[in-house]
Amino acid sequence: MRKRPDPFIWLTIFSTSIILFFILLPLIEMVAQPSFSNLKEAITDRDVVNSIWLSIYASGLAALISFIIGTPFAYLIARKTFFGKKFIESVVDLPIMIPHPVVGIALLSVAGKDHWLGQFMHAFGIRIMGSVTGIVLVMVFVGLPFYINTAKAGFEAIPKRLEKVSRSLGASMTGTFFRITFPLAWRSMLVGMIMCTARAISEFGAIVIIAYHPMIAPVMIYERFTAYGLKYSQPVAVWLILVSLLLFLLLRIVSLPKQVKA
């Protein structure tokens, strides 16, 4: 007797279809609507190319900074238990929950000349308003939680006994980290950097407050939409999606585990 499919299978298929339709339809429509001449005109526009390059460059730099300052922190909260740990983990997640314009206003309040930190940075010639430094600062702020949480999950997946064996053989904590932990967790850290870059490259609300110029791609898309309409904003958005998709695809391929030949 042929077994009838479980109703839950149909529920999963229905759910999958709804999600794919919901995500893909607007994106496919946006990519398909601009003509080839419009796309060609957009990619030969120096301002468009510069804005896309700045988005990629700044988000990549933000991911690198997150990697440098976030890795030791992610390792600490993955391996150690201490008083206030849950509170600190909640603080790390705050940039995910705060509305984006609030992030820009919060950073502006400490980077301005009325704040001691702003005065300190101004004395050393560090400018936040209307600068690439300000854009990168915002991107680090919004992308750092994604890197830390992903790297932390990677560290937690590594058995502690491997590190204990290394330490029992005389290796220092630093040596154990770079010889045992880092090689086993590098893929999680790379995925964390991809997540951080993806979050940073899409940021608009906070950056438009800190630095309208130099113009990143999302700000340029918004400006062209408000000034000229949908027709002139779509080609820029399409190129940003295509370039970002290509970069993330390459990084995903690099992060895939190698298959062991039998």
pLDDT, residue 98, reads 87
Tokens 């509170």 belong to 87
pLDDT, residue 38, reads 84
Residue 227 vs residues 47, 204, 205: alpha-carbon distances, Å:
15, 17, 18
Tokens 């937690």 belong to 156
Return the exposure string of 29-45: e unless at least 16 CB atoms fall within 10 Å of the residue's CB, then b: ebeeebeeebbeebbee
Rounded Cα distance between 188 and 184, Å, is: 9
Q: Do residues 71 and 189 touch, judged by C-beta distance below 8 A?
A: yes
pLDDT, residue 174, reads 92
**Residue-level pLDDT, tens digit, the chain, 262 residues:** 667 778 888 899 999 999 999 988 988 888 888 888 888 888 888 998 999 899 999 999 999 999 999 999 999 999 999 999 999 999 999 988 888 888 888 888 888 778 888 888 888 888 888 899 999 999 999 999 999 999 999 999 999 999 999 999 988 999 999 999 999 999 899 989 988 998 898 899 899 999 888 999 999 999 989 988 888 888 888 888 888 888 778 777 777 766 555 4
Nearest Cα to Cα of residue 59 among 188, 192, 202: 202
Q: Do residues 88 and 77 touch, judged by C-beta distance below 8 A?
A: yes
Output the six-digit token pair for 146: 């994604």
Instruction: Give the up-direction half-sphere exposure of residue 2: CA atoms within 13 A in the CB hemisphere.
Output: 2
pTM of the model: 0.86
Residue 108: partners with Cβ closer than 8 Å, 6 or more residues away: 128, 129, 209, 210
